[in-house]
Structure 1
Amino acid sequence: MTGMDPLLAATSDVSVRPAVPGDEAAVAAVQLAAWRATLGDLVGEEVLDRVDLARVTDQWAAAIAAPPGRGYRVLVAMHGPRLVGFASVAPVTAPPGSGDDTPGGEILALEVDPAERRLGHGSRLLAAVVDVLRDEDRATSVQTWVVAGDTARERFLGSAGMGDVGATRVLGEQDDPREITEHLWGASL
């Protein structure tokens, strides 16, 4: 394309769409690449080396083709014909006894291929998630869990108006020294 502004050419064919059957292998590949880039030092490469790519791919195929219920969905970020990121969203309800019966959504995963980061794909995915939650699910809040120490994700979410709401959880085996602490981040929509 002669004469096209290079900035326009770099961003003119980017989008977010619902995942469709056939996307599962690319989603699994992005997830594992993102985990290696973000969690490799925390959990260890040997743990990530044991992840069964075929099993992860099958799980994404099921989530895309037959979500477990209303409000569950997978969205994908595209750069031209290439899948470069994804987000997985589920409905969330307030804790029993809280008196809050307004619907909300939880971002179960939001990952961008490490080679494609800082190009706006994560922001487009997050905006699409919020649009779907607000417009289709009538959700009034969004939340997600963030691994302690993932300052890049904290900056990203903070710049989008989300914040640490004060809840934590610990993942890992009882005697495993690689426990992972996560903090709950959220925002009203």
Structure 2
Amino acid sequence: MLSQIVVSTLYLVSTFYLTVVLLRFLLQLARADFYNPICQFVVKATNPPLKPLRKIIPSWGAFDGAALLLAIVIQALVYVGMLAAMGDVTMISPVTIFAWAVIKVVSIIAKIYFWAILAVVILSWIAPAAGHPGVQLLMQLTEPVMNPVRKVIPSMGGLDLSPIVVFLILNVVTVVIDNLGRSAGMHQLGLPL
């Protein structure tokens, strides 16, 4: 029972912080406005572990490799902690744990995009001209994913079908991630994906 509490607490806390770290990665990739108050929170929350890591791994344009590596390392450490709490840590190789961490990070990125696009779609119906910093940030975050689809499928009479196509693509990515997690043995050990 205590191990379940430790595992679920570790999972919730780590998923929240990983989401913040990956938001920093995605917001930099999207070249979002970092003077936005929400971006400032993300920057302040992620700067302590990222500053020393950036001395080793510099950014390449908008690609923040340090943030991505930090997310993978944190997730790998979380899996080690979860396995230790369950008493299974000795039988798993570090390469397998690293592969699980990469799968989990890609899964969180897909979920971030799914929920951000869903929020943008709903907000476009409710408040199409909202100037709230959160709405602006969501639009900036989703634009790199939505824009290539909009180039292929233009709006039809004011109806933008690109979110539907992106949701289908994200669904395929989620199915692939789930199958990768199953083939890597994550579900057999009860590790959440």
Is TM-score (shorter-chain normalized) higher than 0.5? no
Comparing both structures, which one devotes a greater share of its residues to strand?
1
Larger Rg: 2
Comparing both structures, which one devotes a greater share of its residues to helix?
2
Q: Normalising by structure 1, what TM-score? A: 0.29
Q: Which has the higher contact order (CA 8 A, sep 6+)?
A: 2
Q: Normalising by structure 2, what TM-score? A: 0.29
